[in-house]
Each structure stands twice: as C-alpha cells, then as structure tokens.
Structure 1
C-alpha cells in the first residue's frame, strides 16, 4: 500500500532532477546565527520552533498567501527560538525563496524543513541561508542517512534528526545525533498522537548532551506542559501559529517551564 510519505518522496525525486539541472552557484555564506542546540539545551523553559507553513497534505491550504518576511518578524518578536520554513512545493506550497526571505529578515536559527534525500537539497538550504536542516529517518536507508548527516555537518549546518518510533531513535543515536525531533504525526497515515513523544522520551538518553524536540500536534499550553513533562526541550509548531490571530500570546503560552506536566 502506497503511503503519503511514499507519494511525497516519489514527487521529491522529480524536484531534485530539476534542481540538479539548474547548476546551483554556491554562495560563500558564513553562518553567524546562534546554535539551535545551545539555545535548546541551556534553557529552563520550553523553546518554540515556529514554522512558516502554507499548506499540508492533511489540512490543505493553511495560509497560502502568507508573507514570509512579515511572519518571520512576528515570530522573532514574539520570542521564537528558531524559525522553520517548509520548502517542499508540491505538497506544502513552500519554496527556497521563502527560506531565503526569512533568512534575510531575522538573526535566529533557521530550519530548512523538507524531505531531504539528496545532497543538492542541503546545498540549496545553505545557499538560502539555513543554519539547520531536517533529516527524516523514516525517509532514508541507514547508508543514506549517514551520508546526508555527514554532508550537512561538513557544510557547517546543524541537523535536526526526526524519528517516530524507538527503532528510528536507535538509528539516530547510532550517528550521535544531538538534536532529535519526535514527529507526533505518523508520516505514513498523517495521524497525530502526543504519545509518540512520551514513548521516545521514556528511553531517551537525557543524561547525555542531547536535545529532544516534540513536533506536530501542539496547540495549547496543556499540550506544551505535557511534552515538557516528558523531557522535551522544545516544540515545533506550525499550523496553530499560522492560524493564530495573536502570535505573541500563542508563542508565550507554549513557553512553559520544563519538567512540569499538565494536570
């Protein structure tokens, strides 16, 4: 049975073919943004990665006409620790132009959120000003994951490695990943369950210098308190912020004290 992730990855191959034809001229960008790991690791309150998300396969159009620069400014002024920019076009309506616009607007860490399966995507991310790239364990073989992780690190980028279950966490730890995100959304079915964070947190090596980030399904301060109680240092939030009429209060409500579980 073909899953949503399968469809996305198949379409991604077509996008990569076009990217390879364009003969990207690499820019000599010296990244001077703060380290996302350090921002997450040293803070006593839950940190928010605020996402610019125009659309998704499960929800359709969310904010197709959003101005990336204005949204990024609002996120930054509201205290976001990092801004995530979706650059997948067919399913999420994002572009590397969105990423570049955001990178030129704010000084905090910038995450390129995409389904990375080829080094050229990492080149494009860095060229656009990203300081962090996402690697999804479920989308890659062990060999592919290792090669892309090494390549991104060699480019001076941080890597947020996304897992969904215990086996994927083990693969991430084998590569000594420092930033590990738990996607509460199953990319095969797109169903969301915060129990994914609880499951991963139960065996996460918090005694080592690693950061756990809970992704997807975070809407309220109760959700934030729940994952903070599990041990998460941060949350990645897109749809709820894109639909929010008050970004400052929405982000503030998620910046709960770490280690406090909602009653």
Structure 2
C-alpha cells in the first residue's frame, strides 16, 4: 500500500534527521514566525483554487513535465488563492526546501502537504513558512488526530484533514477539524472516484471549509463542485501537462462561474 510504504520509510528517516534532536529550538523558532491565514483566504467568497507543486504522482504514474518551483510559484501567485507544496520525498520527490523557495515568490498562504506522523514535523513546517499542514485521517488514531490539530491551532496555523471515507470524515470532525479535504483517489485501490464528493460533502457542517482534490476537473467534477457548494479545489495532476498554468486556472474559474445559477 502506497501510504504504508511512505510511513515506514519516514520512520526510518526520522532516526537520522538532526532537527528532531533540537526540539526546544525548533519549538521556539516556530512560535516566533507569522504566516498568512489559509482559512481566512479560503473564506472570502467564490470558488478558491489552490495550485499544487507536485513533481510526480505515483498513484497515477504521472509526472509533471513542466515542474519548476519558481515558475509555478510565480504563475500561481498571479491566478490562485493559495499554494500547496508536496514535501514527501520517498515517493513524491518532494523537498521541504520547496516551501522556502515558494515563499520567496509569493505572499499567498502555503500548505505543507505530506504524510505527517510526528508533532515535530508540524513545528518544522511553521519554521519553513507554511500556513497550513495536511493530516491524513487514515494513518492517525483519534488521540493523535486531536493532538496534532490542537498543536497546529496553537501555532496559529490551519489543519487540513484529508479523508476518503465516511468514517474518516466523522473521526476528523469529532477531533475538531475545521477544514476537510476529500481525496477522490483511493489510497489502496488507486481508483479515481469523484462521486465520493456526493457522499461526503453533505455530511460536512456549513461552517467547515470543504476541499475537493480531483485528478482532473472536467464537466462532471465542476458540476459536482457547483451542486455541492464546495469552497475550495486543489489543482494537482490536472495541470501536469499544461504549459500555461495561469490560463488553465482562469479557464476553470470561468467554467465554474458559467455553471452557477443566475
């Protein structure tokens, strides 16, 4: 299973990451850094688009032939409402350095998208300049999920809890999640199922930010997003083979607006 492989290798890596042995310094540094509010940027009305920096997608066997950290940051700064940075290194070729590089090019809120299995990763994310961190409900127990959300809130960041099933969503809400990301690509079967949005979004309270993460955004996906009144979309593999990212984002906004009832 892809996600279990990532967790296993991350546990091995932690044994050699020097920053984990400087816990006190890390916590002190994280508390002295101010970051833009991800939740605030996503609540200002209309469809919000978060562009994602992801070099490869092992789930779909796709690679981003136009991957360039600085160029993508500059493009998304012109057209998106936030930027997600995949930092998982074992399977996604991500790097924490990418967050710092993105911060050089934009003041948009930045999400550290990773498989978080230690509180220290959260403190480290803040020192990098991340406004939000993703937590995968499937790999955290109830105690961990609530603890990590509380740590993130205490750092004045935003926790984005990623779910794929009804039970994971219920657990996330009980743990205090205020932002829910629905991943439409199943971790185990690797099957793409945008219809899961119809099953899960109606359960999400209106005061909670809902995010759709789809492999692509065609007519079916946009129809669901409009009908379900989804607040935010993550733009991931949809732009892997797109050279003009600004044009693609603007096209999506235009198609979305045309579907909204007058």
Deviation at 1:18, TM superposition (A): 2.4
Conserved 8 A contact 1:55-1:93:
yes
User: Alpha-carbon deviations, 1:71-93, whole Å to 9, x = none?
Assistant: 1111111x211100000011000
Would you say 1:246 and 2:249 are equivalent positions? no
Q: Which moved more, 1:105-114 or 1:155-164?
A: 155-164
Deviation at 1:52, TM superposition (A): 0.3
Would you say 1:188 and 2:188 are equivalent positions? yes
SS in 1 for 2:181: strand
Conserved 8 A contact 1:64-1:93:
no
SS in 1 for 2:111: strand
SS in 2 for 1:18: coil
Conserved 8 A contact 1:11-1:90:
yes
TM-score normalised by structure 2 residue count: 0.89
Q: Which residue of 1 aligns with 2:44?
A: 42
- Partner Cα separation in structure 2 for residue 223 and residue 248 of structure 1: 20
Equivalent residue pairs, number:
254
Q: Which residue of 2 aligns with 1:52?
A: 53
Structure 1 pair 222–61 and aligned structure 2 pair: CA distance change class (3 A): closer
Structure 1 pair 132–20 and aligned structure 2 pair: CA distance change class (3 A): same
Among candidates 225, 228, 231, match of residue 227 of structure 1: 225
Structure 1 pair 215–65 and aligned structure 2 pair: CA distance change class (3 A): closer
Deviation at 1:124, TM superposition (A): 2.0
- Unaligned 5+ segments in structure 2 are none
Deviation at 1:258, TM superposition (A): 9.7
- Partner Cα separation in structure 2 for residue 258 and residue 85 of structure 1: 29
User: Alpha-carbon deviations, 1:54-74, whole Å to 9, x = none?
Assistant: 112223461378331221111
User: Alpha-carbon deviations, 1:14-57, whole Å to 9, x = none?
Assistant: 22222256645533553242x2222222312x211110001122
Conserved 8 A contact 1:96-1:124:
no
- Unaligned 5+ segments in structure 1 are none
Would you say 1:31 and 2:37 are equivalent positions? no
Structure 1 pair 139–158 and aligned structure 2 pair: CA distance change class (3 A): same
Q: Which residue of 2 aligns with 1:237?
A: 235
Give RMSD over aligned pairs: 2.2
Q: Which residue of 2 aligns with 1:121?
A: 121
SS in 2 for 1:202: helix
- Partner Cα separation in structure 2 for residue 129 and residue 31 of structure 1: 8
Deviation at 1:154, TM superposition (A): 1.4
Conserved 8 A contact 1:87-1:95:
yes
TM-score normalised by structure 1 residue count: 0.88
Deviation at 1:217, TM superposition (A): 1.9
Structure 1 pair 8–109 and aligned structure 2 pair: CA distance change class (3 A): same
Structure 1 pair 143–222 and aligned structure 2 pair: CA distance change class (3 A): same
Conserved 8 A contact 2:20-2:120:
no
Conserved 8 A contact 2:96-2:128:
yes
Would you say 1:168 and 2:168 are equivalent positions? yes
